[in-house]
């Protein structure tokens, strides 16, 4: 197996570097700009900087297209593939359907999606080993993807093409919305005079402690706080303060509170009556179905 990369951004550079460190020959790279291709090649010895996708595909047997999702198909369509080659993309939301132009030449196709967040080149290289990798594709493509993921100490998850959108929603909800939650918290700190960077520094140990609890104790046992304890008056105080000073945060507090309430019920420390009272508070005025006392609903 010889590996080439088209698109030398964060994902391409990190995967190329780590695969090369694990003994895979990463032999060719091209990118929109020469500088990005040269930067990737600088992490690896024996990697040729090519003048375009075709040259990469002419040299390598496994070709990663690690460009933005929207141009993957066009790039694949512009290449004369060889039968038996493997075309790979790393998109979380798309299946291998977008590599169909490679299939027309008899090339195999797979998606190797690192379930990870890459915010910069160094961070991406650090984050790769031990990540979960979702793989999808044809038989030969899957075999190559599994082998490479395992070489990166990855936890391999096999997906079907139709799973990808839901899989990606889950990833975005966790990773991107966690950033949005951090920003929401830090914004509240600014309202009592603490700037965002200081707030983030102060909040990070709480975030890390929460992640450790999820890892060690699991859901639902890791849940703490007023909803898990059944402190309804605390929730009431929160809602009143938000209504008065930060109404823009009420919806997120309500929606996340109702999800939290589901977990609190599963943890089993609060009674049905307390759960109902909390639910009604979070929902505001409205009727819950009488037949199901545990039913949670969101006011529209
Ligand atoms: N970032 C993440 O957290 C993450 C995580 C998992 C999967 N992914 C997936 O990884 C893939 C790449 O994402 P990324 O975040 O690494 O993107 P990125 O850092 O923006 O890198 C994309 C690279 O593609 C190059 N490029 C753009 N258009 C091109 C074209 N027409 N021909 C050749 N090269 C082109 C860019 O070129 P120049 O630099 O040369 O201008 C850039 O280096 C996507 O499929 C994405 O869904 C990303």
The predicted pLDDT at position 284 comes to: 81
* Cα separation values, 91 from 76, 94, 164, Å: 14, 6, 9
Question: CA 208, CA 43: separation in Å to the nearest integer?
Answer: 31
Report which of 45, 43, 36, 41 is spatially closest to residue 68, judged by C-alpha positions: 36
Q: How far is the CA of 80 from the centre of ligand 1 (A)?
A: 22
How wide is the angle at C-alpha 131 spanned by C-alphas 126 and 133, nearest 5°?
A: 130
Residue 67: both structure tokens together = 């460009």
Average pLDDT of the chain?
A: 95
Q: How far is the CA of 290 from the centre of ligand 1 (A)?
A: 52
Using most ligand atoms within 8 A of CB, pick from 13, 49, 67 the residue to mutate for ligand 1: 67
Q: Which residues pair with 88 in a beta bridge?
A: 64, 110
Helix (H, G, I), strand (E, B), or coil: what is residue 4?
strand
Q: How far is the CA of 209 from the centre of ligand 1 (A)?
A: 32
Backbone phi, then psi, for 258, in 5-degree steps? -65, -40
Q: How confident is the model at residue 225 (pLDDT cuts 50, 70, 90)?
A: very high
Burial class (CB in 10 A: 0-12, 13-18, 19+), 229: middle
Helix runs in the chain, H state only: 10-21, 34-42, 53-59, 72-77, 100-103, 121-127, 139-151, 164-191, 196-216, 226-229, 232-245, 250-267, 272-283
For the domain spanning 3-159, the CATH number is: 3.40.50.720
Cβ contacts of 57 within 8 Å, gap of 6 or more: 4, 6, 63, 79, 80, 81, 82, 85
Question: CA 254, CA 207: separation in Å to the nearest integer?
Answer: 20
Of all protein residues, the one whose alpha carbon is nearest to atom 21 of ligand 1 is 9
pTM above the 0.85 mark? yes
Name the residue with higher pLDDT: 298 or 210: 210
The predicted pLDDT at position 287 comes to: 58
Rg of the chain, C-alpha, whole Å: 24
- What are the residue ranges spanned by the domains of the chain? 3-159, 167-283
Using most ligand atoms within 8 A of CB, pick from 31, 42, 79, 154 the residue to mutate for ligand 1: 31
Backbone phi, then psi, for 31, in 5-degree steps? -150, 175
Q: How far is the CA of 24 from the centre of ligand 1 (A)?
A: 21
Q: How far is the CA of 186 from the centre of ligand 1 (A)?
A: 30
pLDDT digits 0-9 by tens, 121-142: 999 999 999 999 999 999 999 9
Do β-strands 3-6 and 62-65 pair in parallel, antiparallel, or remain unpaired? parallel
pLDDT digits 0-9 by tens, 32-71: 999 999 999 999 999 999 999 999 999 999 999 999 999 9
CATH T-level topology, domain 167-283:
1.10.1040
pLDDT digits 0-9 by tens, 260-297: 999 999 999 999 999 999 999 999 866 555 555 566 65
How wide is the angle at C-alpha 183 spanned by C-alphas 181 and 185, nearest 5°?
A: 70
Helix (H, G, I), strand (E, B), or coil: what is residue 110?
strand
Residue with tokens 């790769």: 128
- Checking if the pLDDT of 300 tops 70, the result is no
pLDDT digits 0-9 by tens, 4-32: 999 999 999 999 999 999 999 999 999 99
Which residues lie with the beta carbon below 6 Å from any ligand 1 atom? 6-12, 31-33, 36, 66-69, 71, 75, 89-92, 113-114, 116-118
Using most ligand atoms within 8 A of CB, pick from 29, 40, 68 the residue to mutate for ligand 1: 68
Helix (H, G, I), strand (E, B), or coil: what is residue 63?
strand
- Checking if the pLDDT of 87 tops 90, the result is yes
The predicted pLDDT at position 286 comes to: 62
Question: CA 120, CA 115: separation in Å to the nearest integer?
Answer: 15
């Amino acid at each position: 197996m010889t590996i080439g990369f088209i698109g030398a951004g964060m994902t391409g550079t990190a995967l190329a570097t780590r695969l090369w460190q694990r003994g895979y020959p990463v032999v060719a790279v091209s990118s929109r700009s020469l500088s990005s291709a040269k930067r990737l090649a600088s992490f690896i010895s024996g990697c040729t900087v090519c003048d375009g996708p075709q040259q990469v595909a002419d040299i390598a047997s496994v070709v990663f297209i690690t460009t933005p999702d929207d141009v993957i198909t066009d790039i694949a369509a512009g290449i004369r593939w060889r039968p038996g080659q493997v075309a790979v993309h790393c998109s979380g939301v798309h299946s291998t359907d977008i590599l169909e132009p490679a299939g027309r030449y008899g090339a195999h196709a797979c998606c190797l999606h690192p379930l990870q967040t890459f915010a910069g080149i160094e961070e991406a290289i650090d984050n790769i080993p031990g990540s979960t990798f979702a793989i999808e594709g044809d038989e030969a493509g899957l075999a190559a993807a599994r082998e490479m993921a395992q070489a990166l100490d990855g936890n391999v998850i096999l997906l079907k093409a139709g799973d990808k959108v839901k899989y990606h929603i889950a990833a975005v909800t966790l990773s991107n919305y966690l950033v949005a939650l951090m920003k929401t918290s830090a914004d509240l700190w600014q309202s009592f005079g603490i700037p965002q960077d200081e707030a983030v520094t102060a909040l990070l140990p709480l975030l890390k402690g929460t992640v450790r609890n999820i890892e060690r104790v699991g859901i639902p046992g890791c849940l703490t706080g007023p909803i898990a304890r059944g402190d309804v008056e605390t929730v009431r105080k929160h809602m009143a303060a938000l209504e008065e000073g930060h109404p823009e945060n009420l919806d997120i507090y309500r929606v996340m509170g109702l999800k939290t309430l589901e977990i609190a019920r599963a943890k089993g420390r609060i009674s049905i009556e307390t759960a109902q009272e909390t639910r009604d508070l979070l929902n505001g005025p409205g009727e819950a179905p009488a037949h199901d006392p545990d039913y949670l609903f969101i006011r529209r």
